[in-house]
Each structure stands twice: as C-alpha cells, then as structure tokens.
Amino acid sequence: MNKSEVYDTGIILSGFMGRDKESGRLSFGEGADRLTEGLIQYRKGRIKTIIISGGSGSLVDDTRESVLAKSFLTENCNVPDSVVIIDTISRNTYENAVESKKIMNAAGLRTAIMITSAWHMRRAEGCFKKVGLEVDIHPVDGMYHGQGSTPSDLFIPHTRNIVRWENLMHEIAGIIIYKLQGYN
C-alpha cells in the first residue's frame, strides 16, 4: 500500500467474525485485524469507502458475515452507513473477487486496496488478478504473537502451532483447488 495514496475503497475479505448462537453476541476470530485495519485506514483518510466482501460460506448457517461487520462498524464505530458497501453473495475467495469487481463498477470506484490476512494474500491476489481487478494489497494478521522464539520453543509444544499448520494446509489445498478450477 502506498502510504500517500488515497484509495476509492478498501476491500475487506471476510472470515473473521460470526454471532455466538447462545448469547447472540458478535464473536471475532484471529482474522479480526482485517476489519480493524480497514477501520484504521478509513479513519486516517486513506480509503473513502469500505467494501466488506463475504456472504455465508456455510452449508448449514445462512448468516451473512458482511451484514454483521457493517452493523458493527456503523453501530459501534460511528462509520456512516453510506461508507460501507457489502457483498452478501460471495462464498469463497474467488467469488469475493467477482462480487467486489461488480460493486466497484456499479459504484464507479476505480482504486482499491485489498485487506486480508497475510497467509491468505497469495490466493486472494491471484483471484483478483484472474477477474481483472487490479488492487494494491494490504496484508494483516501475520500471526505475530509478540514474542520471539526461545530455546524452550524447541521442546515445549504450543497449541498456536496447530492453528498455524491448519491455516497452512487450508491455504495449500485452496491454492491447488483454485488452480485446478482456473480461479487463479
């Protein structure tokens, strides 16, 4: 991201929040940096609008993540409703690219940064290029946990490493599947 450039929009890819079924409260996952960084870039005046791209990728739950995220920004962060545009259709990264392009064309938006987790950026950027949507990238959520490695890390297992492996396997599988399907 060019620090001096002002973009028409910031495209935030979903996959960071949901609603707790028992309490009804919003629940944010590790990828919440996507939303908070989009908010920061808006507050700094680097993006004029925010596109939140993501419907429901679930076969059993029809909750649209983009609807939840927009309501969070407008109701809790005082972002004007007119600033946040949502894509409730897309179910995967390729569809995020397709729907974001449609939204940008319909709204007359020409420049964009795409905000997603660093570990997801390669696949996401490939999808956006495939659909002909040129965006600058702004990776977040680099899985930094605030501490360097210590000698004990070699001998004492950490549960966070299981999550890292899960993310890695998910992305490797996603890259292979998307390549086979022609998504990037």
The predicted structure's pLDDT at residue 60: 58
The predicted structure's pLDDT at residue 15: 85
Q: Which domain holds residue 71?
A: 7-181
Whether 2 is covered by a domain: the verdict is no
Whether 142 is covered by a domain: the verdict is yes
> How many angstroms separate the CA atoms of 47 and 18, rounded?
25
Tell me which H or E stretch contains 66.
helix 65-76
Whether 35 is covered by a domain: the verdict is yes
User: Which residue bears the tokens 């995967």?
Assistant: 92
Whether 153 is covered by a domain: the verdict is yes
Q: What is the pLDDT along the chain (184 residues), one digit of tens a residue?
A: 666 799 999 999 998 888 888 888 888 887 889 999 999 999 999 999 999 998 776 555 667 889 999 999 999 999 999 999 999 999 899 999 999 999 999 999 999 999 999 888 998 999 999 999 999 999 998 755 555 566 666 666 777 777 777 777 877 887 888 788 887 7
The predicted structure's pLDDT at residue 27: 85
Residue 70 DSSP one-character state: H
- pTM for the model: 0.82
List phi, psi (to 5°) of 40. -60, -45
**Contact (Cβ atoms closer than 8 angstroms) between residue 69 and residue 12:** yes
The predicted structure's pLDDT at residue 49: 98
> How many angstroms separate the CA atoms of 146 and 41, rounded?
23
Rg for the chain, CA atoms, rounded: 17
Whether 113 is covered by a domain: the verdict is yes
Whether 133 is covered by a domain: the verdict is yes
Whether 92 is covered by a domain: the verdict is yes
pLDDT, one tens digit per residue, over 39-93 is 999 999 999 999 999 877 655 566 788 999 999 999 999 999 999 999 999 989 9
Our count of domains for the chain comes to 1
**Per-residue CA distances from 13 to 23, 34, 157 (Å):** 25, 7, 31
Locate 19 and state its tokens.
């609603």
Q: Find the CATH number of the domain harbouring 118.
A: 3.40.50.620
Whether 1 is covered by a domain: the verdict is no
CA angle 130, 100, 143 (to 5 degrees): 80
Nearest to 40 by CA among 70, 73, 15: 73
> How many angstroms separate the CA atoms of 178 and 34, rounded?
22
